[in-house]
Amino acid sequence: MLIFDQLKKTDRPLQVLSALVLLGLLVLLGGLWYVQVVSSQRYVETLRNQSFRSVRIPAIRGQILDRNRELFAESRPNYNLNLYLEELREQFQQKWGEIRPKTKLARAARLQLEQYGRFLVVSNLVEQMNGFALDVPLLTEAHLHRHFTNKLALPMSLMENLSQEQIARFMEQGGSLPAMDVEIMPVRTYPQATVAAHVLGYLNRDNSSAEDEEAFFNYRLPDYMGKAGLESSFDRALRGRAGVKNMLVNNLGYRQSEELVAPAEPGHNVVLTLDLQIQREAERALRQGNPNQRGAVVVMDPNNGDILALVSAPSFDPNSFIPRMTQQEWARLDDETQRPMINRATQERYPPGSIFKIVVALAALDAGTLRPNESVYNPGSFQLGKRSIHDTARPGDYNFRRAFKASSNTYFITHGLRCGIRRIIAMGNRFHLGELTSVLSRQEVEGEFPTLQQVSHSWSDGDTANLSIGQGPITVTPIQMAVMTSAIANGGKVLWPRVVMSIEPPEFRPDDPKTEFPAGRVREDLNIHPQHMNVLREAMLADVEDPDGTGRRAAVPGMQVCGKTGTAEVKHGHTRVDQITWFVSFAPFDKPRYTVVVMIESGVSGGSSCAPVAEQIYRFLKNYDPAAAKERKTLATTGGSR
pLDDT tens digits, 36-79? 665 656 655 555 555 777 778 788 899 999 999 999 999 998 88
What is the separation of C-alpha 435 from the centre of its chain, rounded to a whole number of angstroms? 22
Helical (H) or strand (E) element with 26:
helix 12-33
| Cα first-last separation, the chain | 110
Q: What is the pLDDT of residue 24?
A: 77
- Give 348: exposed, middle or buried? Use CB within 10 Å, 0-12, 13-18, 19+: buried
Q: How far apart are CA 236 and CA 243, in angstroms?
A: 15
Q: What is the pLDDT of residue 126?
A: 84
pLDDT digits (tens, 9 = 90+) for 199-247: 999 998 875 666 555 556 776 676 888 999 999 999 999 998 888 877 7
* 641, pLDDT greater than 60: no
DSSP code of residue 597: E
pLDDT digits (tens, 9 = 90+) for 231-287: 999 999 999 888 887 777 776 667 777 778 888 889 999 999 999 999 999 999 999
What is the separation of C-alpha 167 from the centre of its chain, rounded to a whole number of angstroms? 32
Q: Average pLDDT for residues 73-95, to the nearest whole number?
A: 87
* 181, pLDDT greater than 90: no
- Give 506: exposed, middle or buried? Use CB within 10 Å, 0-12, 13-18, 19+: middle
251 to 152, 380, 523: CA distances (angstroms): 12, 90, 66
Q: What is the pLDDT of residue 473?
A: 94
Cβ contact 313:294 at 8 Å: yes
Cβ contact 59:240 at 8 Å: yes
> Which domains are assigned to the chain?
54-272 (3.90.1310.10), 276-313+346-634 (3.40.710.10)
Q: What is the pLDDT of residue 508?
A: 78
The phi and psi torsions of 265 (rounded to 5 degrees) equal -105, 120
* 129, pLDDT greater than 90: no
What is the dihedral angle through the alpha carbons of 602, 603, 606, 607, rounded to the nearest 10 degrees? 170
Enter the pTM of the model. 0.84
Q: How far apart are CA 477 and CA 437, in angstroms?
A: 10
Q: What is the pLDDT of residue 333?
A: 87
